[in-house]
Structure 1
Amino acid sequence: MAARPFDPALAEQHHLLALAGDVPAEELDVLATSRFSAAGWEVPAEPAARRGRSKAGPIAVLRLSRLSSLRGPYPIDRAAAAALGLPGPTGQVWLLHAPVERGEAPWPGAADRDGLGRAFPDGLPIRDEERVVTWLVAAARRLAGAVRVTGVGGGPATVLVPDPAAAVDLTVWSDIWLDPEAALSVVRQAVPRARLDLGTPWDGPPAGTGVRPVPGAEDLDARERAALHQAADDRDLEALTQQEVRSAYGMLADLDLDGVLAVEVGGETRLPQALAGVPWASGGAVTYRVSWAPDELADLGMERPPIEHRIARGRAAPLVNAVARALHAAVAGEITDMMGFIVDPADL
């Protein structure tokens, strides 16, 4: 017998996650445990190989948090999906059971890359509803799906179709620190025009230092002033002759009309949930953040940016992937995307 059909009336009571029919439940399990520490199956999902070949069993329940869970999958045909405003490839939906918790209305003109301001014009979700709804959008972006946000008080529903291509930036997490020159040589394997960005060099004290007395030092005689300057010079010389210890640095690559590719290297003690329990990251990790910035930064906050942005992004994204892949080959560890989900280097 076929799996349990979807009742469209449920869409008026719950937010929906809509996915293609061939996306296995195991994918959702991985994404849920990557974001929520308490995630796990209360009622396991039937393996995809068996689904539809036996009597419809209980709907699977994926616990996200103490208050929220995801239930499904409900198969849905093209006509029913279209009636709900869902995109054509939709073949299954999952219902979100979560509290309704709303805060203030979105600021007019604020960045709204995920479309949440459009979906919640009277009050953005807060607390648990915010956490699970933003995860739904992130999961839809990762799995090329959609989210249908039910209206409040009988209001119209909103369908969000986040663009997977907008998730450009990547982070490599490792327990290996590369010195700036070593990291630059790795990054240049993918982007030869990359250069180190170590900040603005110090050009020495301002003109007149040591000649004109500073406020508060007018009563010093020439011998006392000379002794103070000599002590300062000795301290500067000692600092300059010691090997510089860096805790962070960066690299930049000018992509001409396509913006800038940046790599930021540093340490991080607050790790994403996806790395919880990884032994080498128990005390923190070295991060290699690879990001892209377009010429028009405001475009990054747009749900549907202009075609010029998308063309530039399409050319920059393979370079971001190549840099992350090269860094991972050098330092191992894990790669996460902008949503905090683990990325297999073979998929880049």
Structure 2
Amino acid sequence: MSPGEQPRTRHRLQLPRDTSPADVLSMVRNVRPGAMLGEDGTIDLGDGTFLEPDHSPRGAGRWSIDTPWDREVPLPEGMVDSHGYGRAFPEGMPFGVERQALDLAWSLGRRLYGAVVTDAGVRLEPHPFQVRDLTVVSPHALAPESLAQLLAPLEPDAQLDEVPEDVVRSGYSVTIPLPEAEEIALRVGRSSRPTALSALDWVEDAVDYELVHLTADPEEDAIEVPSSETSERWQHVYQRIGRIAGLLAETVGGYVVDLEGFLVDPSDLA
């Protein structure tokens, strides 16, 4: 390495062997639309980072993340994080471009049932229901009463929150009670315009139907490895949110995206 050149490192992304490289590229472009595919299958993520497929005989589903090395101070003692970075990088947390590349790999592992192996050999296995929130982005807005009527057969306990007087079709919410003092909040408002949908001509005026899991313990989302009881509860809540999102997408049209900006096929939510 020449003087002044930034050091580099390599992490690994391990996906199921039958994962299509085209699916990986499609998912990457949900959040990095400028990602470029090279002739050898390498995905240029920008900022000097690359996702390289393993072409060896046993390399199906394996990718390397080639990225600049950039670390900051370690995670404070006693603090936990959902990604497991504090455990994997005790000498200093990934920062900047390296952190962004690792976050992308972690998210791909979450969505595609894989794992990340760090440059130090530490394995990170994202829980598939760590991210449970979904948003339906639609060109059509439902009036509060219409949304309440739509939800009633599926969620009879859903409660339309107090609607401000000037609200016609956005800027209101619905609360769906869950066991153990938890809730699903359905918030209707102007769209945040996800990157994955930026090419659509109607997205500037779109409406978000945001479905958020409100846990009884706000610290729960920082758990890296949930207990079997928590895991089962997360799965149940995600499936419930998914059914609502599927109903909304079928009724008002549009697309479903998860909290990290990745598109979700409504057929996977049934």
Q: Give the TM-score of the pair, scaled to structure 1.
A: 0.70
Q: Which amino acid aligns with 2:28?
A: A
Q: Which amino acid aligns with 1:181?
A: E
Q: CA deviation at 1:284?
A: 4.4
| Unpaired runs of at least 5, structure 1 | 1-11, 44-58, 78-89, 152-156, 202-242
Give the corresponding residue for 2:176.
253
Asked whether 1:139 is paired with 2:60, we answer no
Give the corresponding residue for 2:21.
25
Q: 1:76 to 1:265 in 2, by over 3 A?
A: farther
Give the corresponding residue for 1:16.
12
Question: Counterparts in 2 of 1:94-173, with a 5 A limit?
Answer: 94-151=63-120, 157-173=121-137
Two-structure CA RMSD over aligned residues (Å): 2.2
Asked whether 1:65 is paired with 2:43, we answer no
Q: CA deviation at 1:326?
A: 1.1
Give the corresponding residue for 1:81.
none
Whole-angstrom distance in 1 between the partners of 2:243 and 2:135 = 12
Which of 31, 35, 42 matches 1:39? Answer: 35
Whole-angstrom distance in 2 between the partners of 1:74 and 1:107 = 39
Matched-pair contact (CA < 8 Å) for 2:11–2:65: yes
Report the structure number with the largest CA radius of gyration. 1
Whole-angstrom distance in 2 between the partners of 1:274 and 1:111 = 30
Aligned length: 261
Moved more, 336-345 or 246-255: 246-255
SS at match of 1:262: strand
Give the corresponding residue for 2:197.
275
Matched-pair contact (CA < 8 Å) for 2:9–2:66: no
Whole-angstrom distance in 2 between the partners of 1:300 and 1:106 = 17
Question: Counterparts in 2 of 1:198-347, with a 5 A limit?
Answer: 198=162, 244-245=166-167, 247-257=170-180, 259-268=182-191, 270-281=192-203, 283-347=204-268
Q: CA deviation at 1:181?
A: 1.2
SS at match of 1:254: strand
| Unpaired runs of at least 5, structure 2 | 1-7
Moved more, 337-346 or 142-151: 337-346
Whole-angstrom distance in 2 between the partners of 1:341 and 1:136 = 13
Matched-pair contact (CA < 8 Å) for 2:47–2:97: no
Q: CA deviation at 1:75?
A: 4.5
Identity %: 28
Q: 1:175 to 1:108 in 2, by over 3 A?
A: farther
Q: CA deviation at 1:294?
A: 2.8
Give the corresponding residue for 1:184.
148
Q: Which amino acid aligns with 1:39?
A: A
Q: 1:63 to 1:334 in 2, by over 3 A?
A: same
Matched-pair contact (CA < 8 Å) for 1:70–1:95: yes
Q: Which amino acid aligns with 1:163?
A: H
Whole-angstrom distance in 2 between the partners of 1:169 and 1:92 = 27
Matched-pair contact (CA < 8 Å) for 1:258–1:316: no
